[in-house]
Amino acid sequence: MQIHRKIDQLKVLSQRRKPQKTKSESLSSRSRADKGWSKSYDPGAGTGRAADSFLPDFCSLQTALTLVVSSELLAFVLTLADSSPDYGFWSELGLRSLFIIWIMLSSGVILCNIRPWLARLDAVWSGIATFSVIQTATLLITWLAHDGPLNPGHAASFSHLDGIHYLKILGVSGLVTAAWLRYLYIQSRWHQQIRAEGEARLDALQARMRPHFLFNSLNTIASLTRNNPKMAEELLLDLAELFRAILRKEAKWVKLKDEIGLTCQYLNIERQRLGERLRVDWRLTDAPEDALVPPLSIQPLVENAIYHGIEPSQAGGKIVIDGQLTKRHLVLTVKNTLPEMDTRRSRRGTQLALANLRARLEACFPGEARLFTSVVDNCYQVRMIFPYLRKHYENPDRRR
């Protein structure tokens, strides 16, 4: 598998350096590769204005059901407001329900068919177009039911139309439609605001990195500058790649193999500092490399494992990274050995990294992702479970 080949390559990165590229050329090539990665996951491609539209998907079954229920509620309210029904309450309720449902469903069919055209309009014009369609459908259904062929007591005619009757029905339809569109617009803007605030908070959490890792990495690179400048250059490039991934905000998901590669680059930096004290066991045979995961979902857990489990122990420790595909869910586990109890007490964490990851999992997979922590056989493990999404799944734009 490509994941294992990438891991093996990065494990022997310090022994197999390619000297033909200068530092500036390597940085430039990595920058171009990063731009190419972003382009291949262009989130906004093919979406147009559809993501900004406040109108619902009129072709969905949920919207059709909502229109039917709303029609029944409106018919019930109008029947209650009628002080002297001609045919009795239940008969009037049935007639009004049928009349309003015809208007709603016919409008929904028209709006479903012109959805691509509505998606290209801004909020004002799409609202005007929707209002016009509903009013036109109301006028047509009113004529069919009152003066058209659907009224068995009258012959179809345009010569003796009751203008007051039509104005009343169009007035009620216009007021209800305007109020409904206004509600949809406010609700859409409210959801956008909540999403923007949530993404800003998640971006702020994602951009955090422990200062001690940065200082230790720079000290390691500085110590290698004279003795092994090529190694120092590669470590500096790995550090730059880590920061590039931390600051990258345009993608909601990345491929598992890319997240594994980033984690390997981080481990390569830490291995130069910890040496044989750091042992890593990769168990990703059953993990599909095309699975989509949140950015920085494994690396922070590995960083936690090193900071709390490996670094404080004089003998070092072992990290196990496991991945499995069970039915429609991907299970990723990061497990590390724990140091002595006294050392463990001196490094009590704030659970910020776990809270950050839990929040990002919930943002990517609302109500479908879970994160568990446990201590088993003197090992601390974190397990993530979330749906298996393939690489063709749409990557929404987070740059708005």
Task: Compare 395 and 42 and report the one with higher pLDDT.
Answer: 395
**Cα–Cα distance, 203 to 69 (Å, whole number):** 39
**Tokens coding 326:** 């069970």
Q: Highest mean pLDDT: which of 2-6, 85-89, 123-127, 239-243?
A: 123-127
Confidence of residue 46 (pLDDT cuts 50, 70, 90): very low
**Cα–Cα distance, 299 to 295 (Å, whole number):** 9
What's the gap between Cα 75 and its chain centre? 38
**Cα–Cα distance, 359 to 226 (Å, whole number):** 43
**Cα–Cα distance, 47 to 50 (Å, whole number):** 6
Whether the predicted pLDDT of 305 surpasses 70: yes
Pick the CATH number of 2-13+22-32+207-387 from 3.30.930.10, 3.40.50.720, 3.30.565.10, 3.50.50.60: 3.30.565.10
Q: What is the mean pLDDT of the chain?
A: 77
**Tokens coding 202:** 């998640």
The amino acid sitting at 93 is L
User: Among candidates 48, 349, 45, 18, which has minimal Cα distance to 212?
Assistant: 349
Q: Are 137 and 174 in contact (CB under 8 A)?
A: no
**Which residue reads 């594994």 in tokens?**
260
Task: Give percent of the chain above pLDDT 90.
Answer: 14
Residue partners of 47: CB distance under 8 A and separation at least 6: 397
**Cα–Cα distance, 232 to 391 (Å, whole number):** 34
How does pLDDT run across 139-156, given as a tens digit for each residue? 998 888 777 666 655 554
pTM of the model: 0.55
Pairing of β 254-255 and β 329-337: unpaired
**Cα–Cα distance, 14 to 267 (Å, whole number):** 12
Pairing of β 292-293 and β 329-337: unpaired
**Cα–Cα distance, 246 to 151 (Å, whole number):** 68
The domain segmentation of the chain, as residue ranges, is 2-13+22-32+207-387, 55-200
